[in-house]
């Protein structure tokens, strides 16, 4: 079968399976199968695949029809214009987390802050830590997660981008292993924030393939968020910043928690889809800023 016809048929099969952007995904699967760029695939549209190539492609197509995430099948995902390894041990990086980082960097620039000691909490695949290390070259970055399997993926990604010497990886449960003293100028986290009762309603790619440990924020969705806000209050240096990715339905609760704990400059920012996404607060400042 010629490639253009194979792509057309594959897109129809994916669409029937409920996959969004079926045309795009069919192309990405075939490019991965043949190890071709987009332009390379375009130049071969009238070519025929070998029986072996066609069999391999149909195997990948079958996996995607079972709603296995495309990123798991391909084994990687683009984030911040960088290519990261992913696996079922970690969340697949999403645009919402890029927005989290953009908001953090924008605030730091506006406030003329230059953080020296930075923590990525619930690091997962390590994408946040990698971007922090890349964009803050003078900072010491720590990445923490309670999952050894997730940290193995993060370690591979840091090595992949030449950042393994810049980021210290720690297996800890949130901030409990850190002494209750001012340690960090900046804490950034994408914690679990899905309400436990909402997990069955998620898309199959998320519900059936991504780690529930990194998704579920308990009955209220606020369990990890509340703990992080409370624990970070004593571990941020005066004037240090906390940035959290949150669920759109947790905006008011998160803001209340931050204010109750004494954070300053508390706000929640809407993402590109105009949904509440990033909560931020600043540790109370002394007369002299920490950075």
Do 197 and 238 lie in one domain? The reply is: yes
Give the orientation angle of helix 148-160 with respect to helix 127-135, to 10 degrees.
40
pLDDT surpasses 50 at 291: no
Total count of domains within the chain: 2
72 lies in a domain?
no
In this predicted model, what pLDDT tens digit does every residue of 156-185 receive, in sequence order? Answer: 999 999 999 999 999 999 998 899 899 999
What range defines the domain where residue 54 resides? 3-66
Dihedral (CA of 219, 205, 70, 23) sign: negative
287 lies in a domain?
no
289 lies in a domain?
no
Dihedral (CA of 181, 109, 164, 75) sign: positive
Do 164 and 206 lie in one domain? The reply is: yes
Partner residues linked to 188 by β-bridges: 120, 243
How many residues are present in the chain?
291
Do 119 and 178 lie in one domain? The reply is: yes
The secondary element (H helix, E strand) that includes residue 241 is strand 236-245
pTM (two decimals): 0.93
Do 179 and 214 lie in one domain? The reply is: yes
Residue 176 is predicted with a pLDDT of 87
pLDDT surpasses 50 at 45: yes
In this predicted model, what pLDDT tens digit does every residue of 122-169 receive, in sequence order? Answer: 999 999 999 999 999 999 999 999 999 999 999 999 999 999 999 999
Average pLDDT in the chain: 96
Average pLDDT, integer, range 46-70: 97
Do 121 and 209 lie in one domain? The reply is: yes
Residue 289 is predicted with a pLDDT of 44
Q: How confident is the model at residue 275 (pLDDT cuts 50, 70, 90)?
A: very high
291 lies in a domain?
no
Give Cα separations from 53 to 3, 11, 36, 76, 266 (angstroms).
11, 17, 13, 21, 55
Q: What strands lie across the sheet with 236-245, from one edge to the other?
A: 167-171, 140-145, 117-121, 184-189, 236-245, 276-282, 264-270
Q: How confident is the model at residue 286 (pLDDT cuts 50, 70, 90)?
A: low
């Amino acid at each position: 079968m010629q490639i253009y016809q194979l792509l057309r048929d594959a897109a129809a099969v994916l669409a029937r399976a409920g996959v969004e952007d079926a045309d795009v995904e069919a192309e990405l699967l075939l490019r991965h199968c043949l190890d071709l760029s987009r332009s390379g695939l375009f130049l071969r549209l009238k070519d025929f695949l070998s029986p072996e190539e066609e069999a391999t492609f149909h195997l990948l197509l079958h996996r995607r029809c079972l709603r296995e995430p495309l990123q798991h099948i391909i084994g990687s995902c683009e984030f911040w214009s960088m290519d990261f390894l992913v696996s079922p041990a970690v969340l697949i990086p999403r645009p919402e987390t890029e927005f989290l980082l953009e908001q953090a960097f924008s605030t730091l620039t506006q406030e003329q802050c230059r953080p020296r000691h930075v923590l990525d909490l619930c690091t997962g695949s390590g994408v946040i830590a990698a971007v922090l290390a890349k964009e803050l070259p003078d900072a010491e970055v720590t990445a923490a997660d309670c999952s050894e399997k997730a940290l193995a993926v993060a370690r591979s990604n840091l090595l992949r981008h030449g950042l393994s010497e810049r980021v210290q990886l720690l297996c800890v449960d949130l901030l409990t292993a850190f002494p209750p003293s001012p340690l960090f100028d900046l804490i950034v986290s994408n914690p679990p924030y899905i309400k436990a009762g909402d997990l069955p309603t998620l898309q199959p790619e998320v519900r059936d393939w991504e780690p529930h440990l990194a998704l579920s924020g308990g009955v209220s969705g606020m369990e990890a968020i509340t703990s992080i806000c409370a624990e970070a209050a004593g571990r941020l240096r005066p004037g240090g910043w906390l940035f959290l990715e949150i669920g759109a339905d947790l905006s008011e609760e998160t803001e209340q928690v931050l204010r109750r704990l004494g954070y300053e400059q508390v706000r929640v920012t809407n993402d590109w889809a105009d949904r509440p996404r990033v909560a931020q607060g600043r540790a109370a400042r002394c007369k002299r800023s920490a950075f």
